[in-house]
Amino acid sequence: QVQLQQSGAELAKPGSSVKISCKASGYTFTRYYISWIKQTTGQGLEYIGYINTGSGGTNYNEKFKGKATLTVDKSSSTAFMQLSSLTPDDSAVYYCARKTLYVMDAWGQGASVTVSS
């Protein structure tokens, strides 16, 4: 079955970076894009962007340009999101999701990022 397994919770200091992973299984990794979504209590669900897992091409929500960097490692069927120059506003749960033509049809379990000094 299709599964997206995300890395664990992160505690990071302001100004630092974190890299979250999303390992796919149960399907051909390069046939589907991977999307990333941020969830906070205050802002709800926000779409960060997506990566073409075959070509590595990316498309970012303007709000997250310069904050998030999406990459893939095809050899391990893993997508990554790096968050840089962290501030407390980056504290959230981050989800990866497999994107089909219409819908994000499989989601990771979420990765919690807490930014605190």
Partner 1 sequence: DIQMTQSPSSLPASLGERVTISCRASQGINNNLNWYQQKPDGTIKPLIYYTSNLQSGVPSRFSGSGSGTDYSLTISSLEPEDFAMYYCQQDASFPNTFGAGTKLELK
Shortest Å distance, C-beta 47 to partner 1: 4
Q: Does 5 bind partner 1 (CB under 8 A)?
A: no
Q: Does 102 bind partner 1 (CB under 8 A)?
A: yes
| 76 CB neighbour count, 10 Å cutoff | 11
* # of chain residues touching partner 1 (CB under 8 A): 20
Shortest Å distance, C-beta 97 to partner 1: 8
Q: Which residues of 38-63 are buried (b: 16+ CB within 10 A; e: fewer)?
A: beeeeeeeeebbbbbbeeeeeebeee
Is residue 99 within 8 A of residue 32, CB to CB? The reply is yes
Near partner 1 in 42-101, by CB under 8 A: 44-47, 49, 59, 61-63, 93, 95, 97
User: How far is it, in rounded angstroms, from Cα 83 to Cα 74?
Assistant: 20
Shortest Å distance, C-beta 35 to partner 1: 8
Degrees to nearest 5, angle at CA 102 with 50 and 28? 65
Residues found near partner 1 in the complex (CB under 8 A): 35, 44-47, 49, 59, 61-63, 93, 95, 97, 102-105, 107, 109-110
